[in-house]
Amino acid sequence: MIALTLAELRDALGGELVGGDPADVVDGSVHTDSRLVEPGAVFFALPGAVMDGHQFAAAAVANGAALVIAERPVPVDVPVIVVSDGYVALAALARLVVERVRAAGGLRVVAVTGSNGKTTTKNLLRAILEAEGPTVAPAGSFNNHVGAPFTMLRVGRDTRYLIVEMGASAIGDIARLIRIVVPDIGIVLKVGLAHAGGFGGIEQTQQAKSEMVRDLPPTAAAVLNTDDPRVEAMSGETSARVVRFGLEARADVRATDVRATAAGTTFLLHADGMTLPVRLRILGEHHVMNALAALASARELGIPLDRAIAAIETVPLAERWRMELLRSAPEVADGGVTIINDAYNASPDSTAAALKTLAQIAGPEQRTVAVLGHMAELGEYATEEHDRLGRLVVRLNIGQLVVVGAEARAIHQAASLEGSWDGESVFVADVDAAYDLLRAQLRPGDVVLVKSSKSAGLRHLGDRLAGAGTAE
């Protein structure tokens, strides 16, 4: 965090300072986990559904916290700022820090949202922007009302670029984040059924995602996926300059000749009268749209496209457990199996894309195996969307399907009905049963996709099948 006096912090947060000299300066990192606190840090004692951060204020101070921000007085030997709402105070502090750095000149803010692809786009953008200057980007998927402000609080006086990932589980979530930091560039990737159970339907999801661009000023750019009609419709809801990306001819930044292999994904980029080849190391043609969003944003920031392309071509994978290419452990088919571990997150769109990638990259002599767990947060759409995936597996001619867990059983049932298979679809109750089955049945040359929502735990199955080995 940038250096601020206790008086500045008190006033910005609308709190009461207990102890300490108002002129004292605090400039340490900001944490809500007392175990991560380091000397000079600021500790937010946030109330939670299970744990109350106030109980850990003393531990935070013991680890070196120089300031505690809490909703009630706590008995510690450092200054405390007592606020009425810790989450509102966290947002206010993030707003203050970004405003100060912006006012000093040079900081540009890029925000990204979408039902799928946020983290991959963020990582591609980070590769581009870090090559240009000091950049702050989220660690992991810090994209909610707590994680996003924590990312913002990492900016320093010399930070040139800030990337903010904005997720939402309800209408209004993104609007609240936009009020903390108004982006110079707002990216919308896709409107899909991810978290549809929480939103209540895809129309509500569209409404929530449109919050990214609705309040952008005319000086900003709305970078929109023109291939998605629901995202394209947002072009009429913003006063910002609209920049389109996609495969359609009307896109300002467009891809053609997309080809996916086990070595990565290639395409031709068309923009500003230029045609440039791009060779992604990231697996899956669906990541082309994420690359286009990152490149379109770089273009708006004045970064030459050849430099931006060179940067994204160095990114080895989307993220841990996201289309991660691994080689099986020696005890699994003599180490001769290729594993795509994509089980950190799952939605109908991302699972369909992963299955298509599996079908595309396998050679003619290789058997394809899909190991699927449930997709979470689909609400009333869960049975229909799991059923749809089972039928897609058959239509893609996937060689073997293993469905894991009762919540995913509809995938197995649909595949069995669609294909009248005899053993090509197998249902197992849990991860251990899946591992035992796969270890017994996999053979050298197989290509295996492991895909589910994080809560299904299949990412650990992918790691278990792979051991420590990674594919070259």
Helix, strand, or coil (residue 367):
coil
Among 29, 2, 180, residue whose Cα is nearest residue 104: 2
Q: Which residues are annotated as a binding site for ATP?
A: 114-120
Among 98, 102, 19, 136, residue whose Cα is nearest residue 66: 19
Helix, strand, or coil (residue 221):
strand
What are the φ and ψ backbone dihedral angles of 37, each rounded to 5 degrees? -65, 140
Q: DSSP letter string over 16-36?
A: EEESS-TT-EE---EES-GGG
CA distance linking residue 293 with residue 125, whole number of Å: 9
Instruction: Please tell me the chain's helix, strand, coil percentages from 3-state DSSP, rounded to the nearest 5.
Output: 40, 20, 40
Q: Which residues are annotated as a binding site?
A: 114-120
CA distance linking residue 138 with residue 154, whole number of Å: 9
* CB-based contacts of 236, cutoff 8 Å, min separation 6: none
* CB-based contacts of 406, cutoff 8 Å, min separation 6: 429
Q: How many CA atoms lie within 13 A of 402 on its CB side?
A: 27
Contact 278, 312 (CB under 8 A): yes
* CB-based contacts of 420, cutoff 8 Å, min separation 6: none
CA distance linking residue 199 with residue 30, whole number of Å: 31
Contact 375, 385 (CB under 8 A): yes
E strand or H helix at 338 = strand 338-342
What are the Cα distances from residue 334, in Å, to 117, 341, 362, 467? 34, 19, 19, 12
How far is CA 107 from its chain centroid?
A: 22
Residue whose tokens read 């609007």: 175
The first and second tokens of residue 79, run together, are 């200054």
Residue whose tokens read 């049932």: 413
Contact 72, 45 (CB under 8 A): no
The first and second tokens of residue 296, run together, are 């379109």
CA distance linking residue 6 with residue 333, whole number of Å: 62
